A and B are shown apart, each in its own frame.
Chain A
């Protein structure tokens, strides 16, 4: 689903098992609802959410993700993210925020991947955001941090 692949409408991949990559680099999902509930793939290959080798943007045109509320990642299991560049945690947090609800599993999953990539601070940021989201959903404020 890459190279300017375009989707309009719902892409329902609930429970789908991909034995290799979910390849959506430069895919266009702006008019789609992408449902990856309980789907699995070895690697998520996208574009626009990683930094280039020297902190520069990637060369590939970015994946155009669905509008807020139209990306469902709960239970989407993937062992790693595209090896092009360094995972940009801020952009990934914005990506997770596209979900209609804020389930915790995608945060945990991403934190694991980020930690395994060597970015322990980034992993901690993800877990902190997850905790903030949880507290807000429970009617509490975010945790005060110095």
Chain B
């Protein structure tokens, strides 16, 4: 998986192409993925697992991941 930089309005349920901001099933970003830029998960509600094993989040000098007040029901 290769995620392009993506902006999502702060306060939205979720960013990073998670439909409706509240996925019911396990969210897998594994196997390895690369994100160049900022990923917004601000206030996201993820009912499963956010699996970033082996991935890369890159945004030199800025936020690579914004998960302010996100709720993940399972493991990150």
Residues of A at the B interface (CB closer than 8 Å) are: 1-23, 31-32, 41
Contact = CB atoms under 8 A, between A and B. Distances in A.
Contacts of A6: 55-58
Interface residues of B, number: 26
B57 A8 contact: yes
Interface of B: 49, 52-76
Contacts of A14: 68-69
B72 to A, nearest CB: 5
B66 to A, nearest CB: 5
Main secondary structure of the interface of A (DSSP, over half): strand
B74 A13 contact: no
Given A5-B53, A6-B56, A7-B56, A12 B76 contact: no
A10 B63 contact: yes
A8 B58 contact: yes
B73 A19 contact: yes
B51 to A, nearest CB: 9
- Interface-centre pick from B56, B63, B76 (highest chain A CB count, 10 A): B76
